[in-house]
Structure 1
């Protein structure tokens, strides 16, 4: 869709619909009869009872609707999709520029805080896939909050792996909490030469570059070992 509706899918003007050439482009739908209904699948949130408590789960729902309704639903989602993509492109471009413009006294730390590793078995019963049945490894292979990243300096880069002494208050918060703000105010007590710090969160729901790839390789390698 981005190729179809934008002059350049990496251009922020096109993605923000401010480009004079492509801002009025629309998806060319074929002619159809609205008497017919169409089936489609949609991801959604649902609740599932596990033991005595209810948990939120994400599942795929099968829907049936008229073609026009589905088209309208798709069109309604386009602004959010364009905004989401524009944020991703803008952030990556900004990070690239920051890496290029670092001086001798600056450091850029690009990190990914991934979830714990959910353990696998060589053979599994069907019920293991549902609810909260599948457990997670904690403190094994440093997977209690895998923290992978790269430290960028002016003339070099360095892989960063989680310190075993790092603890956190809640994995699901992804460090968006009051504690991180307090810690940042205390950093100068440890690093007296520190002048300023910025902490930026990237757009949700997409890969975070090299750090994300490192974490993925570790987990898939563990999966492969289990299968063997």
Structure 2
């Protein structure tokens, strides 16, 4: 689940590129969140406050570093996500097989419903600065 067991702790992304190619510098863009100070006018004058904004920033790195970062993200996020999905299906299968003839099961995946609704929101909802 958390890449700590003997089965999966040492699994890596396969790399068939020669070492010299992996040391090439590449340029890429990535969405990141950062804090920014803004000024607002109040009845007492001006005051500064922090907002969290999402921006598309440019980066440069070696292919090797990009691979390492991607691998770490997959281990940190995706493997736990995958474990949860597999565990939920296992439990659902067990519950379904134990149902009596006069029982039924309704499975509603709220996260999927929510993400589908939220993805239809206008872009400003996703990328505007948060309000204080």
Q: Which has the higher helix share?
A: 2
SS at match of 1:102: coil
User: Is this contact kept in 2: 1:37–1:65, CA < 8 A?
Assistant: yes
Which deviations, in whole Å up to 9, do the C-alpha atoms of 1:2-39 show, x marking residues without a partner? xxxxxxxxxx8xx87654xx775532321142553111
User: Is this contact kept in 2: 1:48–1:131, CA < 8 A?
Assistant: no
List aligned pairs for 1:125-140, cutoff 5 A: 131=128
SS at match of 1:110: coil
Kindly tell me: are residues 24 and 54 of structure 1, through their superposed partners in 2, closer, same or farther at Cα, counting changes over 3 Å?
closer
Where in structure 2 are there 5+ consecutive unaligned residues? 41-48
User: Is this contact kept in 2: 1:43–1:59, CA < 8 A?
Assistant: yes
**Is 2:39 the counterpart of 1:42?**
no
Number of aligned residues: 111
**Is 2:67 the counterpart of 1:71?**
yes
Distance 2:34 2:71 in 1: 24
Instruction: Calculate the aligned-residue CA RMSD, in Å.
Output: 4.1
User: Is this contact kept in 1: 2:32–2:55, CA < 8 A?
Assistant: yes
Partner of residue 31, structure 1: 18
TM-score norm. by structure 1 comes to 0.35
Distance 1:98 1:51 in 2: 56
Kindly tell me: are residues 84 and 43 of structure 1, through their superposed partners in 2, closer, same or farther at Cα, counting changes over 3 Å?
farther
Instruction: Could you list the structure 1 runs, at least 4 aligned residues long, displaced by more than 6 angstroms after superposition.
Output: none
Where in structure 1 are there 5+ consecutive unaligned residues? 1-11, 121-126, 133-228
TM-score norm. by structure 2 comes to 0.52
